[in-house]
């Protein structure tokens, strides 16, 4: 099994991913806050996470991946100030928070499907895990990390081991960062403490509230991911993923809570794709006027052209979106589809078999190349090299299929030949089956009659080792 290398935010270096359990990757992804459509920036992050998961699978690892759906607790500031984003969404649309959550969760997965982003097998809405949050907060109380103040429950960051190690900030840096725009919460013992459980003392208007030992209220955002990850993926997490904005405070706080509860190191590798910006700066749902997959479709772009656009650059670099660069990606995408279609057509007519050793060699080269810190653009270069290579079309096609199990550009989904696209040949395919049966029964008269009928419809029957095929005359 090949080892993959990745940049780890915590060690600030590219290094090998060695899972806690050999051959098995446990991966957690911070899911969307479902108060609005996902913008194409959010989706860049999910595309890169999807590529990472699929690369591990192609390399032969078993992957267990969980993702939360943030449907409560994420306030309009990532710190503990502002209004719950879900309630802001509900107010905006005159619906309940749960109606908003359902609508935008479905919209998120519909976008993922269009972009060939695989749904993690474990997807958990935060509101379905309130008991788990309460249990985890209780453990933090038992272990002396949690305190109540002014009606809310806080995490005491002064007790966390090396609290700033993920972001690499010093406490002083962050003080400077937050001083101007965050109203101080006088209930906190330390400035970096954060809320585990809010009660009515803070937001009396909150629509989503539950009973807890500390009062009627709702969970903080950070506790969601710790509790869901620990519940579904256990105490040893291999990879935790999320956009770069999640490093501080969200992931920093997740580490503090999780490690306080379990008493040992929790997650080994932190994967943080950089942002997609538009020319005016970072894309953000709260800014309004966001760029979605539907907007791209309305403008005539195939969603997978956007996926290609993302794969063309490295996930650790900020990517600036412009329609001009998307136009280039869209043209490259159409060209790629047509080049792969020619290989597929040639493969159909090729009587030989794919060379299994060569396919494995090409696939391993792809895994090693992309597995060098998720170098998707080099993976695309390998794909172009393969298309040009002096190789039989069946071997090419087998390797393309493996590459595309990671790139997921739908290279093998499009119709192969224009002619087939234009005419429905399903009735002729049915005749081919009848002919095969007739030949098996040595009923040559029927077999010949079918051949004539197919010819009259404008197709020749070509017998190949894989069975009879239609070829337009
Ligand atoms: P949210 O729905 O706001 O919780 O964000 C969902 C995911 O998108 C998180 O992993 C964020 O870190 C990520 N994200 C937010 N803004 C951007 C952006 N402009 N570009 C890329 N990823 C982003
Ligand atoms: Zn999270």
Strands across the sheet with 194-199, in order? 146-149, 152-155, 194-199, 217-219
User: What distance in Å separates the CA atoms of residue 222 and residue 75, rounded to the nearest whole number?
Assistant: 11
CATH number for domain 5-273, candidates 3.40.50.620, 3.40.50.720, 3.40.50.12240, 3.30.930.10: 3.40.50.620
Task: Specify the pLDDT at position 149.
Answer: 92
Task: Specify the pLDDT at position 200.
Answer: 64
Give 189's DSSP letter.
Answer: S
For the ranges 213-222, 251-260, 376-385, the lowest mean pLDDT is seen at: 213-222
Topology classification of domain 302-424: 1.20.120
Confidence label for 165 from pLDDT (cuts 50, 70 and 90): very high
Confidence label for 173 from pLDDT (cuts 50, 70 and 90): low
Pocket probe mutation, ligand 1, options 45, 246, 283, max atoms within 8 Å of Cβ: 45
Nearest ligand 1 atom to alpha carbon 33: 2
Q: Where are the domains of the chain?
A: 5-273, 302-424
Helix (H) or strand (E) segment spanning residue 468: strand 467-472
**439 CA → ligand 1 middle, Å:** 60
pLDDT digits (tens, 9 = 90+) for 63-117: 999 999 998 877 776 666 677 787 888 888 888 888 999 999 999 999 999 999 9
Q: How large is the C-alpha radius of gyration of the chain?
A: 27
Q: What is the residue-averaged pLDDT of the chain?
A: 90
pLDDT of 169 above 90: no
Q: What is the mean pLDDT of residues 289-302?
A: 93
E-strand ranges in 186-294 read 194-199, 217-219, 237-241, 267-271, 276-278, 281-282
Assess whether the C-beta atom of 371 lies below 6 angstroms from ligand 1. Answer: no
For the ranges 43-47, 330-334, 439-443, the lowest mean pLDDT is seen at: 439-443
Task: Specify the pLDDT at position 128.
Answer: 97
Nearest partner of 119 among 227, 38, 23, 46, judged by Cα: 46
From the CA of 221, which ligand is nearest? 2
Are the C-beta atoms of residues 419 and 472 closer than 8 Å to each other?
yes
Give the closest residue (by CA) to ligand 1 atom 9.
243
Task: Specify the pLDDT at position 181.
Answer: 41
Assess whether the C-beta atom of 68 lies below 6 angstroms from ligand 1. Answer: no
Pocket probe mutation, ligand 1, options 68, 115, 243, max atoms within 8 Å of Cβ: 243
Task: Specify the pLDDT at position 96.
Answer: 86
**45 CA → ligand 1 middle, Å:** 7
From the CA of 75, which ligand is nearest? 1
Assess whether the C-beta atom of 379 lies below 6 angstroms from ligand 1. Answer: no
Pocket probe mutation, ligand 1, options 245, 249, 272, 289, max atoms within 8 Å of Cβ: 245
Task: Specify the pLDDT at position 456.
Answer: 83
Give the closest residue (by CA) to ligand 1 atom 11.
243
Nearest ligand 1 atom to alpha carbon 45: 22
More confident residue, 465 or 266: 266
Give the closest residue (by CA) to ligand 1 atom 6.
32
**149 CA → ligand 1 middle, Å:** 31
Assess whether the C-beta atom of 66 lies below 6 angstroms from ligand 1. Answer: no
Task: Specify the pLDDT at position 187.
Answer: 87
pLDDT digits (tens, 9 = 90+) for 410-441: 999 877 764 444 467 878 888 888 898 888 88
Q: For 6-75, give the DSSP string.
A: EEETTTTEEEE---SBTTEEEEEE---BTTSPPPHHHHHHHHHHHHHHHHHHHTT-EEEEEEEEB-S--B
More confident residue, 141 or 282: 141
**74 CA → ligand 2 middle, Å:** 10
What's the pTM value of the predicted model, to 2 decimals? 0.86
pLDDT digits (tens, 9 = 90+) for 357-387: 999 999 999 999 999 999 999 999 999 999 9
Assess whether the C-beta atom of 41 lies below 6 angstroms from ligand 1. Answer: yes
CA angle 364, 17, 62 (to 5 degrees): 65
Confidence label for 177 from pLDDT (cuts 50, 70 and 90): very low
């Amino acid at each position: 099994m090949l080892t993959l290398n990745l940049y780890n935010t915590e060690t600030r270096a590219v290094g090998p991913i060695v899972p806690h359990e050999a051959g098995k990757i446990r991966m957690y992804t911070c899911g969307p806050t479902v108060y609005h459509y996902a913008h194409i920036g959010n989706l860049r992050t999910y595309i890169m996470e999807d590529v990472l998961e699929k690369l591990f699978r192609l390399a032969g690892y078993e992957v267990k991946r969980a993702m939360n759906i943030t449907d409560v607790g994420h306030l309009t500031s990532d710190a503990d100030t502002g209004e719950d984003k879900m309630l802001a969404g509900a107010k905006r649309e005159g619906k309940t928070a749960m109606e908003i959550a359902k609508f935008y969760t479905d919209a998120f997965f519909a976008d993922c499907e269009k972009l060939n982003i695989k749904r993690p097998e474990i997807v958990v809405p935060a509101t379905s895990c309130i008991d788990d949050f309460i249990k985890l907060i209780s453990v933090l109380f038992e272990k002396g990390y949690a305190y109540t103040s002014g009606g809310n429950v806080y995490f005491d960051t002064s007790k966390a081991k090396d609290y700033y190690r993920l972001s690499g900030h010093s406490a002083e840096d962050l003080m400077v960062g937050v001083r101007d725009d965050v109203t101080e919460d006088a209930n906190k013992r330390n400035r970096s403490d954060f809320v585990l459980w809010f009660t009515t003392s803070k937001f009396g208007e909150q629509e989503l509230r539950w009973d807890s030992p500390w009062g009627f209220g709702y969970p903080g955002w950070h506790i969601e991911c710790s509790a869901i990850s620990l519940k579904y993926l256990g105490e040893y997490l291999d990879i935790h993923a999320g956009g770069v904005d999640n490093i501080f405070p969200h992931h920093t706080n997740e580490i503090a809570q999780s490690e306080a509860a379990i008493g040992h190191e929790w997650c080994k590798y932190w994967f943080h794709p950089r942002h997609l910006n538009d020319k005016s700066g970072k894309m953000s749902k709260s800014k309004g006027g966001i760029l979605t997959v539907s907007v791209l479709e309305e403008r005539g772009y195939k969603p997978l052209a956007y996926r290609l656009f993302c794969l063309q650059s490295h996930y650790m670099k900020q990517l600036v979106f412009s329609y001009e660069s998307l136009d280039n990606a869209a043209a490259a995408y159409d060209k790629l589809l047509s080049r792969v279609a020619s290989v597929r057509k040639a493969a159909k007519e090729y009587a030989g078999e794919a060379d299994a050793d060569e396919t494995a060699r090409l696939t391993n080269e792809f895994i090693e190349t992309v597995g060098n810190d998720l170098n998707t653009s080099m993976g695309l270069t390998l794909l172009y090299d393969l298309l040009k290579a002096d190789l039989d079309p069946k071997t090419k096609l087998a390797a393309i299929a493996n590459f595309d199990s990671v790139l997921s550009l739908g290279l093998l989904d499009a119709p192969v030949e224009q002619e087939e696209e234009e005419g429905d040949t399903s009735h002729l395919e049915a005749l081919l089956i009848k002919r095969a049966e007739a030949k098996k029964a040595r009923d040559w008269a029927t077999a010949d009659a079918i051949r004539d009928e197919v010819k009259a419809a404008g197709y020749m029957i070509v017998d190949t080792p894989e069975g009879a095929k239609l070829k337009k005359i």
